[in-house]
Amino acid sequence: MSFKATLARHPGYTVLITCGVFATLLFLARGPAYTTTVNALAPSKYARSLAQTLNEEELRYQKVLHDREALVRKWGPTADLVQAFPPRDDFYTLWDFFIPAFQCPHHVERVGTMGDGGKWVCGLERIARQKECVIYSFGINGESSFEAELLQRAPGCQVWGYDFSVKSFGPEIERNTSLRERAHFYPWALGPSNNHGPGSNPPVYTLPTLMDINGHNFIDILKVDIEGAEFASLDKFLEFFGMGHPHSPAGPALPIGQMQIEIHARGGTGHDEFAPFKKWWERLEAAGLRPFWAEPNLVYVNLVRGVRPDLAEYSFMNARGRHALVSEDFH
Per-residue pLDDT for the chain (331 aa), expressed as one digit of tens each?
554 554 455 555 554 445 454 544 444 444 444 333 333 344 445 557 999 999 999 999 999 999 999 999 999 999 999 999 998 888 999 999 999 999 999 999 999 999 888 999 999 999 999 999 999 999 999 999 999 999 999 999 999 999 999 999 999 999 999 999 999 999 999 999 999 999 899 999 999 999 999 999 999 999 999 999 999 999 999 999 987 565 555 567 999 999 999 999 988 888 999 999 999 999 999 999 999 999 988 888 888 877 889 999 999 999 999 999 999 877 6
Domains in the chain: boundaries: 3-40, 50-318
Residue 261's contacts (CB-CB under 8 Å, 6 or more residues apart) are 223, 224, 225, 230, 313, 314, 315, 316
Q: What pLDDT was estimated at residue 247?
A: 55
Give me the CATH code for the 50-318 domain, please.
3.40.50
Going by C-alpha positions, the residue among 131, 184, 173, 177 that lies closest to residue 150 is 173
Q: In what order do the strands lie in the sheet with 289-296?
A: 183-186, 157-162, 133-138, 219-224, 256-264, 311-318, 289-296
Please tell me the predicted confidence (pLDDT) of residue 33.
Answer: 40
Strands 189-190 and 204-205 turn out to be parallel
- Classify burial at 147, counting beta carbons within 10 Å of its beta carbon; exposed 0-12, middle 13-18, buried 19 or more: buried
Q: Packing angle between helix 230-240 and helix 207-214, nearest 10 degrees?
A: 60
Burial 235-257 (b: 16+ CB within 10 A, else e): bbbbebeebbeeeeeeeebbbbb
Residue 180's pLDDT is what?
97
* Spatial distance between the Cα atoms of 133 and 125, rounded to a whole number of angstroms: 12
Look at residue 251 in the predicted model and tell me its pLDDT: 62
- Per-residue pLDDT, 299: 83
Nearest to 252 by CA among 270, 260, 240, 236: 240
Question: Phi-psi bin for 199: left (phi > 0), alpha (psi -120 to 50), beta?
Answer: left
Q: Amino acid letter at 155?
A: P
- CB 222, CB 259: distance < 8 Å: yes
Sign for the CA dihedral angle at 82, 283, 316, 42 comes to positive
Rounded (5°) CA angle 240-55-72: 70
pTM of the model: 0.84
For position 245, what pLDDT does the model report?
60
